[in-house]
Amino acid sequence: MRTETGQVFHLSDYRPTDFAIETVSMTFRLAGADTEVVSQMTLRRRDGVPTDAPLVLDGDALQLVSLAIDNETAEGQRYEVTPDRLTIHDLPADGTFSVTVTTKLDPAANTQLMGLYRSNGVYCTQCEAEGFRRITYFLDRPDVLAVYTVRIEGDRSETPLLLSNGNPVEAGALDGNRHYAVWHDPHPKPSYLFALVAGDLGVVDDVFTTASGRSVDLKIYVEHGKEARAAYAMDALKRSMKWDEDVFGLEYDLDIFQIVAVSDFNMGAMENKGLNVFNDKYVLADPETATDADYANIEAIIAHEYFHNWTGNRITCRDWFQLCLKEGLTVYRDHEFSADMRSRPVKRIAEVRLLKAHQFPEDAGPLAHPPRPVTYSEINNFYTATVYEKGSEVVRMIATILGAEGFRKGMDLYFERHDGEAATIEDFVKSFEDATGTDLAQFAIWYHQAGTPTVSVSVNYDQRSDSLTVDLEQSVAATPGESAKKIMHIPLRFGLLLEDGSEAEPAEVSGARVDGDVIHLTERRQSVVFKSLGGRPVLSLNRGFSAPINLSFEQSSADLAHIAKHESDAFARWQALNEFAMRILLDAAKLSRDGRTVAVDPDLIAALIASASDETLEPAFRAQALSLPSEADIARELGSNIDPDAIKRGRDAVLAAVAQALKPVAEKLFDEMATPGLFSPDAISAGKRALRAVALSYLSIAEADPKRALGVFDEADNMTDMASALQILAHLFPGSAEATQALAAFEGRFGGDPLVIDKWLSIQAMAPGADTLDHVKGLMETRHFALSNPNRVRALIGAFASGNPTGFNREDGAGYGFLADQVLAIDARNPQLAARLLTSMRSWRSLEAGRREHARAALSRIAAAEGLSTDVSDIVKRTLA
């Protein structure tokens, strides 16, 4: 959050700073509301900078105590200071000089959770993107890399732990029950990677020996008493360290690696050099309190933050426009890690579901932006699905185009060239071009153009010549600020499946370039002709979701069923089944909108039964195959004039028909997929639990009876089974005695554990129907909720606004009004959280007219409110534009 409103930043305005900061030596005197920070910087005027150019340091709501230049108190006429800027004149023309800034802070009053704040009494910092300027005046931008030495002084009882980046150097006692510790980080870093933590926490210790034989101390700090719940995170950390050595040849570079779990955090976690700070939700897990999804998230996020040590920290970003240089690449790396740790196709299905659920709507709405934007007014609002998830897909496409070996060569060159630097997307792409001799100029458009491309496909098989012609055409709809779109390089993996399920190997291929199983679509319209196929093949296109596109391909249901049955690429099997189901669900939504009865294509049911009962398929895959597209998925495909109630009615009718037909299979799976004995969070056991939960949900629908789910809930010995049964009870049988009983039992058992209660809040917030709003309001009044804690807000209000299509989009617009009230209330204390919550309104123009007008009114009320943060004002303006 910034106080100057209306400022817009442009990539084209980039220029380096006039001064370099070489070293920073800081002292933090932690003392509650009288906390003092002394920062002594060694600076140097850069070559060619005019000798009268002043040093202009960033601040945000700072209070200056004193200023010294070369250790002499600065005279008043030498500088100008406001809470947001410190300008210093008459500095040396050459050589180094020092500037010492002393500021005073009240961490407990910092409710934005940016800069130095307190979470459950623990002092902690969050500096990305622009939090460091809330601690001291600084050149707070990612291209200013300095070596930090940090001394922390604090009360021995309140803060026995005093942590910062790098390696520990010294520690000792001070007068008055106080003590100090000194940390030194030898790796030059930008200020956004700075971190400090001080408090009283428990620790889990371990050691990792790197490939070259160095021993690294590993420490995870959590609330006292929760140490046992950090075991899985520690295991994931060691596997991540090993994986980065094995797959990318990257070793850790300090003597110690630390992770701290805090309970008040705006995001998932933060990759501060050598001292990652985590939302405790992504550290703590045990069978009783965490679901399989929690375990998978912990593994992925621990890996993500660790991988940032090279992609983000050793090579950082030149400016914030380059955010996806570190985020897209690091997401790609954590996706690959999880794929190696678990099932690759199942992981890919989960990624694509998430991409379509979050990134596609973003790219199709008012907040669309390219992965590498050229303008922003609030950088906090660019930590988006596009920068992260689409950014990762773009890296994946580079790997598809270059192949594994070429990709690794490019990565190696990138590290060789840019280690220790602040780099750009152009640097990154050039490394791949130079390492492999490939021209990626057209491909790079993916970084610079917003919107999801649509590829329209038609096929024509000529029996006489045994040849298949595939006609492809690409287009991208206009997005805000970009009306004319460029032609992109779209790599489409494919397969040609013959009638017996085997793959055709055409003797001749002509037209667009085809490399192995990749068609390179590089023009607006292109054709590929495959000859001598050995019969009419079914084209399976965009295998593995090789390109993040919408496919417009009128494939027959029989062809989709053929792919679902025979593809060697498991992801493509799921994709075909999902596409088949989507068609039926779209029809159902339209029929129920017109008040007509819904009939379900028996071929879909047959295909679902076939997948469900195919024991050669892993349970986790079968669970995905049986999980039909969500109401939100259907809304996205419809694209306009959306009536969430009609979508739900249609989908429920389809589910009911499927459930009836699937009953015997579901019954069998329900028995066979039980996982008795000691709980193990491994992917195979998790897959069985997932499949059993899907079976339970179909059975509950078919039986129209909550008893079976209540039985599972009562007998569950782990949170995965318990939470899935509770969700079935609360969503399929709302208000039933069984649902009420289970919700009360859950609250009674876990009432003292906020992270577990978050699940209870979310499940209730997502219960379909117009009545849920009042229930959510009621939950806000209980002791379980706090507007000050981001996890609680997301679990209740976030889940309601983004995970409850019929409840949130109530016909009378009350859901939107409620969200507006909450956004305004939260904005006063935590703008970042408020702005993120508000993005749940981004697809408002796709609603049917009545709801659309209610949504517009709620958005306009926010826009008209006084004292909006730049975060919320940026989102609301773009959403209404």
Decide whether 58 or 327 has the Cβ nearer to Zn ion: 327
Which residue is it, tokens 């040396």?
Answer: 92
- Tell the smallest beta-carbon distance from residue 258 to Zn ion (Å): 18
Q: Which residues are within 8 A (CB) of 266 and not within 5 positions of it... i.e. 6 or more apart?
A: 113, 114, 126, 790, 830, 832, 833
Q: How far is CA 734 from CA 158, 738, 861, in A?
A: 46, 9, 33
Decide whether 144 or 626 has the Cβ nearer to ligand PHE: 144
Where does this chain touch Zn ion (CB under 5 A) — which range of 325-333, 585-593, 723-731, 820-828?
325-333
End-to-end CA distance of the chain: 21
- Tell the smallest beta-carbon distance from residue 304 to Zn ion (Å): 5
Token representation of residue 42: 């060694």
Q: Which does 264 bind (CB under 5 to 8 A by kind): ligand PHE, Zn ion, none?
A: none
Binding site for ligand PHE (CB under 6 A): 126, 128-129, 267, 269-271, 304-305, 308, 327, 383
Max intra-chain CA distance, the chain: 95
Where does this chain touch Zn ion (CB under 5 A) — which range of 37-45, 322-330, 574-582, 679-687?
322-330
Decide whether 815 or 831 has the Cβ nearer to ligand PHE: 831
Question: What does DSSP say about strands 467-475 and 454-462: parallel, antiparallel, or unpaired?
Answer: antiparallel
- Tell the smallest beta-carbon distance from residue 316 to ligand PHE (Å): 11
Which residue is it, tokens 């709405």?
Answer: 365
Q: Which does 250 bind (CB under 5 to 8 A by kind): ligand PHE, Zn ion, none?
A: none
Positions in 472-491 near Zn ion (CB under 5 A) = none
DSSP assignment, residue 808? H
Q: Given 3-state DSSP classes, what are the helix, strand and coil percentages for the chain, each rounded to the nearest 5?
A: 45, 20, 30
Decide whether 316 or 789 has the Cβ nearer to Zn ion: 316
Hey, which residues are catalytic here? 305
HSE of 650, CA atoms in CB hemisphere, 13 A: 28
Q: Using CB atoms, what's the residue nearest to ligand PHE?
A: 267
- Tell the smallest beta-carbon distance from residue 316 to Zn ion (Å): 12
Decide whether 117 or 553 has the Cβ nearer to ligand PHE: 117
Q: Which does 383 bind (CB under 5 to 8 A by kind): Zn ion, ligand PHE, none?
A: ligand PHE
Decide whether 118 or 649 has the Cβ nearer to ligand PHE: 118
- Compute how many other C-beta atoms are within 10 angstroms of the C-beta atom of residue 8: 10
Q: Which residues are within 8 A (CB) of 169 and not within 5 positions of it... i.e. 6 or more apart?
A: 149, 182, 183, 184
- Tell the smallest beta-carbon distance from residue 428 to ligand PHE (Å): 17
- Tell the smallest beta-carbon distance from residue 123 to Zn ion (Å): 23
- Compute how many other C-beta atoms are within 10 angstroms of the C-beta atom of residue 616: 5
Q: What CA–CA distance (Å, rounded) separates 546 from 606?
A: 28
Decide whether 153 or 271 has the Cβ nearer to ligand PHE: 271
Q: Which residues are within 8 A (CB) of 129 and not within 5 positions of it... i.e. 6 or more apart?
A: 192, 320, 379, 380
Decide whether 452 or 832 has the Cβ nearer to ligand PHE: 832
Q: Which does 270 bind (CB under 5 to 8 A by kind): Zn ion, ligand PHE, none?
A: ligand PHE
Token representation of residue 48: 């060619």
Positions in 611-650 near Zn ion (CB under 5 A) = none
Q: Which does 322 bind (CB under 5 to 8 A by kind): Zn ion, ligand PHE, none?
A: none
- Tell the smallest beta-carbon distance from residue 384 to ligand PHE (Å): 11
- Tell the smallest beta-carbon distance from residue 420 to Zn ion (Å): 20
Decide whether 304 or 648 has the Cβ nearer to ligand PHE: 304
Amino acid found at 839:
T
Which residue is it, tokens 């945000």?
Answer: 60
Q: Which does 103 bind (CB under 5 to 8 A by kind): Zn ion, ligand PHE, none?
A: none
CA nearest 786: which of 835, 833, 720, 836? 833
Instruction: Give yes or no for a contact between 180 and 38, defined as CB atoms under 8 angstroms apart.
Output: no
Q: What CA–CA distance (Å, rounded) separates 181 from 168?
A: 8
- Tell the smallest beta-carbon distance from residue 331 to ligand PHE (Å): 8
Question: What does DSSP say about strands 518-521 and 513-515: parallel, antiparallel, or unpaired?
Answer: antiparallel
Q: Which does 244 bind (CB under 5 to 8 A by kind): ligand PHE, Zn ion, none?
A: none
Q: What CA–CA distance (Å, rounded) separates 388 from 353?
A: 15
Q: What CA–CA distance (Å, rounded) separates 591 from 585?
A: 10
Measure CA 299 to chain center: 14
Number of residues that bind Zn ion (CB under 5 A): 2
Q: How far is CA 516 from CA 3, 336, 519, 531, 734, in A?
A: 55, 22, 8, 15, 52
Q: Which does 267 bind (CB under 5 to 8 A by kind): Zn ion, ligand PHE, none?
A: ligand PHE
- Tell the smallest beta-carbon distance from residue 127 to ligand PHE (Å): 8
Q: What CA–CA distance (Å, rounded) separates 740 from 48?
A: 72
Decide whether 268 or 751 has the Cβ nearer to Zn ion: 268
Where does this chain touch Zn ion (CB under 5 A) — which range of 130-138, 238-246, 327-335, 507-515?
327-335
Tell the burial category of 475 from Cβ atoms under 10 Å away from its Cβ (0-12, 13-18, 19+). Answer: middle
Q: What CA–CA distance (Å, rounded) separates 580 from 189?
A: 50
Q: Which does 269 bind (CB under 5 to 8 A by kind): ligand PHE, Zn ion, none?
A: ligand PHE
Binding site for Zn ion (CB under 5 A): 327, 330
